[in-house]
Structure 1
Amino acid sequence: MKWSTLCPFSCLPQLLTIHISYLLQVWVLHFKQLHDWWLLGYKHEQKQKIHNFLKVIVDKMSLKWLSLLLLLQLTCYFSSGRCGKVLVWPMEYSHWINMKIILEELVSRGHEVTVLTSPAAVVVDVNKSSTIKFEIFPASITKDDFENFFQQLLTEWIQGAKDSFWTKITTAQNIFSGLSDVSLKLCKDAILNKKFMTKLQESRFDVVLADPVIPCGELVAEILNIPLVYSLRFSPGYSIEKFGGKLPFPPSYVPVVMSELSDHMTFTERVKNMLYVVFLDFWFQTFNEKKWNQFYSEALGRPTTLFETMGKADMWLIRNYWDFDFPRPLLPNFEFIGGFHCKPAKPLPKVT
């Protein structure tokens, strides 16, 4: 997290208060020393009159300075803070529906929200929101191709819901392999567009909010040199959380997602869970890492990887309740936000 974002202009009154208070204390101390030295040559009655006169001056000046300090302090306490500029790299369908709730809340609190999208977007509709801004970049894929891909993805996912773990994982591998290629095309369309990236740099955004299921938000944050916040439910095998966020998942008591195991496993189930972990860690790929690593290295001008760039995220917002999940070690920058989309229930109509 950059210091410029940790200490915005809203904290300047506090800094001024501390500085002026220090100067006032130093001035009063020196004045008292000068006052004691100056009175050495006077008689007792004269000293007392001069002392009283100077004391009145010091008290009045101190009262004015204290009033100024109090005013500065109050402006700090009662100010609403500095509103920020949020840049968003979204995902489609239910991911966008969840993220949009966060964005609308940010807008209601005075923040400026800008969503990066392309003409190929399916659910991210630039015409449905008057409070959220959109920056549209040209895409090399059409909206029909993008929508057909997601329809096929959802069909395969729903049809394989009752299959065995190994069948579901194989299906998921095919789905995420296609999603990785489509996401990489969109990412290249945005990052390699120099005019578009220059416009983003000149806009001086404060933070990037992204969904790591479709990469590129972390690359945008790295290029713009601003903090990154993720919004995520989970990834297959917890690969993104594990290799990107460095979050530990001990296989002895944390079952792999989609394994249908509980946190109370027998010895046989633990062995099975361990096999799942080895398979997901060393064979399953949520993204085509070789292609992503190569592109990220070219874009940044230095050797790097997708997960290394993801690991620089300042905050991970997990869309679940902590007590709905299996007990496991957590890191300070992982925050559960389950229920953020819920609203207070409206009272039922009275029956007459």
Structure 2
Amino acid sequence: MLCLQAVLLLVLWAVPESEGGRVLVYPVDGSHWVNMHVLVKELHARGHEVTVLRFSTSWYVKEHSPYYTSITIQQDTPQNLESQEFMAGFLRRSIEIRKKKIPLLSSLGLHLNLFHLLDKDQKAVARAAHTILEDQVLIKRLKEANFDLVLTDPVLPAGVLLAHYLQLPLVLNVRWISSGEGHFAIAPSPLSYIPQLFSHFSDKMDFLQRLQNLFYHALSLYIHQVISNPPFQAVCDRFFPEGVDTLSILLGADLWLMRVDFVFEFPRPTMPNVVYMGGFQCRPAQPLPPELEEFVQSSGEHGVVVMSLGTLLGGLQPQISEIIASAFACLPQKVVWRHLAGRPSTLGNNTLLLDWLPQNDLLGHPKTRAFFTHGGTNGLYEAIYHGVPVVGLPLILDQHDNMVRIEARQAGIVLDVTTLEVDSLTQALKDVLNEQKPYRENMRRLSRLHRDRPIEPLDNALFWLEFVMRNKGAAHLRSESYRMPWYTYHNLDVLALLLSLAAILLLLMSAICRCLFQRLCRKRKVKLQ
């Protein structure tokens, strides 16, 4: 008995002491919550206490969960990104605009449609932030909870303002901010080889493309200054001291957990407090449900094609669905299609329609040969992880830019939804499925590179989250550039001084030369007399 007690004491002594932290999570709904939920589950698994702020209209963020405690904020109407109906309407308008024959009008229409979406969303989120900060009962409850940090997604930056108000360390689960790609806010971003959002360029740009890239950068500044920032600046002016703005709070974050892997993203400069966790949601495939496994196995040597439009967009317009169904019917492969709209009349016997599918598990199945996707980052990282080549049908927002990155690696083919035809889609699918083409091997190479790392992305993210908890922040990793005025950051004041000194020197030399010349002229005149 004494021996057993001694062994137990030895084991307890050998196990490192673990003290769970308290994390306040302010998420964004839809596909953004899908990857935030991965972090929430892992924080819970490591013994941390997680509290999630959610709205009563939330689409994906559930009130009850075994992984977190929720605080529900009452809201009359859902935000646009929480409404599948609104996003379906946004998609429909975007496709109709893209069908216009005049490129300039099409581009203008797409931007106006985007501005309308952003304007409504940012105003709604700013109102929600105002409601939260004004609720002193809620604020008192949050302060008394003694949270160690706030974890939020800054694409809708209400959580950023809340963290600043509570004076808590701030960790961002980020790829996008309200005006574009997150790197452009925090790191040097030369426009000569770093493409802006909506440019649809790779990192190899000719002169005309670099000129266009500059335009898209100006567009992102317009979005920030005119559309995204004003509603939140009004909240800052109401609740914070003079001079505080959303961007400065954002840049003051302790840690940026960036959903990026440079196997997928183009190389670029970065900063010490940016931690990369691209593909952190990916995992080895689990067994499929028996009925689905039976369908997949029935494909024989031809294998399976998986199609999904992700969490935000469940279905397409009927005429597009008919084209896709016809193309699938031409394939020898079996097809598993996540489709929420009506059954297409041209659907072949080889295609299975599902309201939901285990995407990661299907992509990791040995029978899967290709992935037909809209180009969302979650799905693309899963395709990279499992080495499955892609046919992309980008629809809205960042999806086309995502597919440009896959196309640049020759790991997939991009199609235009406005010119989609049965023949072109069938040919694209056959090309990607063809072992003689480079797509499968290139995607397998990306998969090997993505998996060849000293630490898993999720473990890396959790280490740094816990680092911030242990050390009450990570200010030593944060550049102080965000505190500088823009003219100081770009050394324009120093340049102005140097130019002024040079101008003074030139003027002084000019005056001296003029004096000497005048004196010389007077001497000559005296001699001539």
TM-score with structure 1 length normalisation? 0.69
Kindly state the Cα deviation for residue 283 of structure 1 after the two structures are TM-superposed: 5.4
Kindly state the Cα deviation for residue 274 of structure 1 after the two structures are TM-superposed: 1.4
| Aligned ranges 1:306-317 → 2 under 5 Å | 306-317=246-257
Range that drifts further, 227-236 or 80-89: 227-236
Change (3 A) 1:220 1:166: same
1:214 aligns with 156
Cα distance in 1 for partners of 2:260, 2:200 equals 18
Cα distance in 2 for partners of 1:234, 1:148 equals 17
1:130 aligns with 66
Q: Secondary structure at the match of 2:176?
A: coil
Structure 1 residue 330 and structure 2 residue 270: aligned? yes
Cα distance in 2 for partners of 1:215, 1:318 equals 16
Change (3 A) 1:292 1:314: same
1:63 aligns with none
Cα distance in 1 for partners of 2:32, 2:92 equals 17
1:155 aligns with 89
Structure 1 residue 96 and structure 2 residue 33: aligned? yes
Kindly state the Cα deviation for residue 291 of structure 1 after the two structures are TM-superposed: 2.8
Range that drifts further, 280-289 or 257-266: 280-289
Change (3 A) 1:114 1:277: same
Change (3 A) 1:257 1:142: closer
Aligned amino acid, residue 262 of structure 2: W
Which among 124, 130, 134 is matched to residue 182 of structure 1? 124
1:4 aligns with none
Moved over 4 A (4+): 145-150, 283-287, 347-351
Q: Does the CA contact (< 8 Å) of 2:28 and 2:153 recur in 1?
A: yes
Q: Deviations over 1:44-84 (max 9, x none)?
A: xxxxxxxxxxxxxxxxxxxxxxxxxxx9xx96x84243211
Kindly state the Cα deviation for residue 186 of structure 1 after the two structures are TM-superposed: 1.1
| Aligned ranges 1:240-255 → 2 under 5 Å | 240-243=182-185, 246-255=186-195
Aligned amino acid, residue 195 of structure 2: P
Q: Secondary structure at the match of 1:317?
A: strand
Q: Secondary structure at the match of 1:87?
A: strand
Cα distance in 2 for partners of 1:286, 1:94 equals 26
Identity of aligned residues (%): 29
Kindly state the Cα deviation for residue 255 of structure 1 after the two structures are TM-superposed: 1.0
| Aligned ranges 1:194-205 → 2 under 5 Å | 194-205=136-147
Change (3 A) 1:180 1:290: same
Cα distance in 2 for partners of 1:194, 1:345 equals 46
Change (3 A) 1:236 1:265: farther
1:24 aligns with none
Structure 1 residue 342 and structure 2 residue 282: aligned? yes
Q: Does the CA contact (< 8 Å) of 2:199 and 2:212 recur in 1?
A: no
Higher RCO, 1 vs 2 (CA within 8 Å, ≥6 residues apart): 1
TM-score with structure 2 length normalisation? 0.47
| Aligned ranges 1:237-276 → 2 under 5 Å | 238=180, 240-243=182-185, 246-276=186-216
Cα distance in 2 for partners of 1:148, 1:111 equals 27
Q: Secondary structure at the match of 1:265?
A: coil
Q: Does the CA contact (< 8 Å) of 1:237 and 1:256 recur in 2?
A: no
Q: Secondary structure at the match of 1:113?
A: strand
Aligned amino acid, residue 220 of structure 1: L
Kindly state the Cα deviation for residue 284 of structure 1 after the two structures are TM-superposed: 5.8
Cα distance in 2 for partners of 1:179, 1:329 equals 30
Kindly state the Cα deviation for residue 285 of structure 1 after the two structures are TM-superposed: 5.1
Kindly state the Cα deviation for residue 216 of structure 1 after the two structures are TM-superposed: 1.6
Q: How many residues align?
A: 273
Change (3 A) 1:314 1:126: same
2:302 aligns with none
Q: Does the CA contact (< 8 Å) of 2:154 and 2:176 recur in 1?
A: no
2:77 aligns with 142
Q: Deviations over 1:265-296 (max 9, x none)?
A: 11111111112212322456585422311211
Cα distance in 1 for partners of 2:252, 2:88 equals 31
Kindly state the Cα deviation for residue 149 of structure 1 after the two structures are TM-superposed: 5.2
Q: Does the CA contact (< 8 Å) of 2:174 and 2:256 recur in 1?
A: yes
Cα distance in 2 for partners of 1:153, 1:118 equals 18
Which among 209, 215, 234 is matched to residue 176 of structure 2? 234
Aligned amino acid, residue 295 of structure 1: V
Aligned amino acid, residue 276 of structure 1: Y
Which among 158, 162, 165 is matched to residue 223 of structure 1? 165
Aligned amino acid, residue 82 of structure 1: E
Aligned amino acid, residue 168 of structure 2: I
Q: Does the CA contact (< 8 Å) of 1:317 and 1:334 recur in 2?
A: yes
Aligned amino acid, residue 101 of structure 1: V
Kindly state the Cα deviation for residue 103 of structure 1 after the two structures are TM-superposed: 0.3
Q: Does the CA contact (< 8 Å) of 1:121 and 1:146 recur in 2?
A: no
Q: Does the CA contact (< 8 Å) of 1:87 and 1:115 recur in 2?
A: yes
**Gapped runs of 5+ residues in structure 2?**
1-8, 99-105, 298-529
Range that drifts further, 103-112 or 225-234: 225-234
Which among 42, 52, 55 is matched to residue 118 of structure 1? 55
Aligned amino acid, residue 152 of structure 1: F
Q: Does the CA contact (< 8 Å) of 1:114 and 1:132 recur in 2?
A: yes
Q: Does the CA contact (< 8 Å) of 2:43 and 2:50 recur in 1?
A: yes
1:36 aligns with none
State the Cα RMSD in Å. 2.8
2:236 aligns with 296
